[in-house]
Each structure stands twice: as structure tokens, then as C-alpha cells.
Amino acid sequence: MNRETVFLVVGGDLRQNFLARRLCESSDYVYTLGLCRDYRYPAFKEIDKDGLKTIKADVIVLPLVATNDGVNVNSPFCEDEIPLEALLCCADDNTLVAGGRLSGAVTGLFEEHGIKCCDYFEREELIIRNCVATAEGALSLAMDNTATTICDTPTAVIGFGRVAKAVARLFDAVGARVHIAARKQSDLAYATTLGYEAVKLSDFISSPYGYPIIINTVPSLLLDSDCLKKIPTDTLILDLASKPGGVDFSYASQLGLKVIWALSLPPNDTKCEPPQGVLCGGDL
């Protein structure tokens, strides 16, 4: 890698801090904006929004997820908004913008100005490795928010995609009694070959009790009011699904259920106090 390459790392969670630090091993020109200030690294060249006008970036690295509203960079550690449009002043037609889950609006903004975009979350190897980190974050949350050991605890995992497979494998490894709730018969059959209990999703939704831990990975409202009122109040519900999530959070709060919507895993250091997820009901 050319040491003269100029990188601008913008926003995001602690993954952006670690990325910027790794980039510093290959380049003397790593600028940062909107990163967690508790994890500074001496080689970072920290700038503010006005400082964008003073540099020309070869590569702009946006976080995963790049934006929550299509207008501003997803930057939970930054007090002020960082408009995506503000990045145009430090880019030209030789700049590459890399980000995770880039929407058409985001790519359109940059490509309209002749700036190339790359969605790194379309890379299969990254998706798989990210699922492992998500599973570890889910296990950490479960250990921190339950009064018993995970070992021998019946744990329902809703869905059987990449994230669900990684979660099931890790929870099974620490001794949880993993139950997979899925629609496809092929997924249920595959789950049984891996040693998990399999339950039809419709059967689980109608009878969601007997699982002290429920982990949802499906971004569709499955745990609605009818389902939630059947769940004991001492149950921990982890929602790992992207927006809009899979839980009626308002109704869960009314019931006093402990629900954690973990929008960005692995978790950030609590000292940084980012908006990591949504917690409703229950006592931590």
C-alpha cells in the first residue's frame, strides 16, 4: 500500500477506531472525524467539519451502517451531525468512498459528482466474520443480563440465516440448549443435523414460553403484542435484527419485559456511552 495514500475515517462505532489504527500502520495520512475520543491513537490526524476543506482524501471510509437517515453519517460519538454532503469538499473523481450498507441515495450523492463508491458489506467474507462478532456480542449481553448460567439454559433462536447460525453455534458451545425457530423445513432439518432442537416458527409464535432467552435475527415484526403477552416477564429477549427489528418494543415495555435491541454488535465500551441499543422494561 502506498504510504502517501490519504484516508479519512468518519463516524461509526469502535470498529472505526480500530480500523483507523490499522490504517496508520500503512499510511502516514489517516484523518479521523467523529470517532470515539476515548480511544485516540497518536497517529490519528483528528479534524472537525471545517477541517474537511483542508484535505483531499483518496479513500473515505464510512461506518457500518453508513447512515441511518440517508443524510448524515452514522456517528454516535459525535455531538454534531456530519452531513454526507459535507464530505464532497474533500473528494474528487479519484476518491473512493467505502461504506457498509450504502443506500441508493448515498451512492447517488457521490456518483453524481463522479466519486466511486464501494459497499464493503457486500463482501461475503466480511459478512461471515461480522456474524461471529455479533454472536460474541449477543453471548456477552446474555451473560450480563441473566441471573443463571447460559449452560443448560433453553435458548430460542428465531431465524436460521448467517447470524442465527453463528449465534446458535456459540451458545451451543457454552452448553445452552439451543432451539431453532424457522419457517423453512429445510432449515429445521439442517438444524436437527447440527444437534439443535427445531420448532416451526408458527408453533413458536403461538407458544413462546419455556425459553429464558429468546434471540431474534429476523427483521420483521414476529414478536408482536399477541406473542409478547405469552412470554414470562423474567425472559431476556435479544433482538439482533436490523431496522425495523422484530419486536413490538412499546408493548414489551408496557409488559415489563427485558428487551435489548442490539443494533450494533459487538458492543462498544460502556465508558463511551454510545446509543448501543434499545432497552425496555426489566432491571439490569
pLDDT by position in tens, the chain (length 284): 445 899 999 999 888 999 999 999 989 999 999 999 888 888 899 999 999 999 999 999 999 999 999 999 999 999 899 999 999 999 999 999 999 999 999 999 999 999 999 999 999 999 898 899 999 999 999 999 999 999 999 999 999 999 999 999 999 999 999 999 999 999 999 999 999 999 999 999 999 999 999 999 999 999 999 999 999 999 999 999 988 899 999 999 999 999 999 876 554 433 333 333 444 443 32
- Can you read off the three cell numbers belonging to residue 215? 434471540
Distance CA 269, CA 73 (A): 21
Q: Which residue has the cell 446509543?
A: 275
Q: Note the Cα 191 to chain centre separation in Å.
A: 24
CATH architecture classification, 130-280 = 3-Layer(aba) Sandwich (3.40)
CA 55/CA 142 separation, integer angstroms? 44
Distance between CA atoms of residues 246 and 254, nearest Å: 17
E strand segments, the chain: 6-10, 29-33, 45-46, 59-61, 96-99, 116-119, 154-158, 177-182, 197-200, 213-216, 236-239, 258-262, 277-280
Which cell numbers hold the place of 240? 439482533
Peptide bond into 274 cis (omega under 30): no
Specify the CATH superfamily of domain 6-122: NAD(P)-binding Rossmann-like Domain (3.40.50.720)
Q: How far apart are the two ends of the chain, measured CA to CA in Å?
A: 46
| Residue 210 DSSP one-character state | S
- Where in the sequence of the chain do the CATH 3.40.50.720 domains occur? 6-122, 130-280
